[in-house]
Structure 1
Amino acid sequence: MKNWKAMAGGLVLAGALAVPGMTMAAGGEHDPHHFRGPMIERMAEELDLTEGQKAQLKANREANREAHKARREEMRALHEQLREAIDSGADQATLDRLGAELGKLQVAKMQEMHRQHQQLESILTDEQKAKLEQLKSERKERWKEHRQKRAERRQQQQ
């Protein structure tokens, strides 16, 4: 049980290092909102949002934009500090501290996403909320099928 902190720190560290690596492997820097515009438009169409609801959704996004940008920049800087600390052979206490800071930012990001989802639901009618739940269920099912197919392909390759 003593090593759980080290293991947790290692997992946070691994995740922190994996994400930038995957981004670079995918072709370099990308706008994190690259797909968000079309995704929001498609959701608005599928939920049959009114012009007023679309305007409220846009106003909510605009209101959150600066805070999101600041958090993203803070996370980017923290990732860079973590990379430099690892490259320079920093001690475990430094890595744990940086990992804990990164974890706090991740939690804050998740909380903000939850709050934004609540904002979205607050402008929806009961019928639209039901449709949103249906869309979420369908998306989860597609991802489940996708993961199963990927696992099957991996087994066949072995």
Structure 2
Amino acid sequence: MYVTEKIGDEYRNWIEGDEILIQASTGSGKSYFILHVLLKWAISQNRKILYLVNRSVLKKQLEEELYSDISNEIYEEFGYRLIIENYVTVRTYQSIEKNLNEKNNYALRYNIEELKTYSYVVYDECHYFYSDSNFNTNTQLSFDCLRDIFLPRFKFLFLQQWKI
């Protein structure tokens, strides 16, 4: 069963502070659900999604999908004046870590304020925080920042491929 079928319309009942763990195998439609179903719901509710990933190649792949097939689908439903970037942002955990390590206080404050504008936070490949921590000491930095900003205000969607 695909993630979209399993969740059904339940996402419409998610409230602020909910933590959702979507634990499914590769090819089960985790990203499809976020980019095709939840994104449309977010747009209709004037909300934003922050989609965090652990690798730049995954970021690129998601952005290519988002700005080709998905954008056409979104434009057909919501009109061509809609700016999709106003509703979904794909970032790497490392980009947040880089911003947090900036010595410029203005840039740091801007980054934190910008993060606060999201209603949904998707932690794709959320095992990043422990799997990369052996060689990347900044994983704790991004984990702490994201926890402090978003907990308990927003909906979290944790996506992972296997059980921990």
Higher RCO, Cα 8 Å, sep 6+: 2
TM-score normalised by the chain length of structure 2: 0.26
* Max Rg structure: 1
Q: Which has the larger share of helix?
A: 1
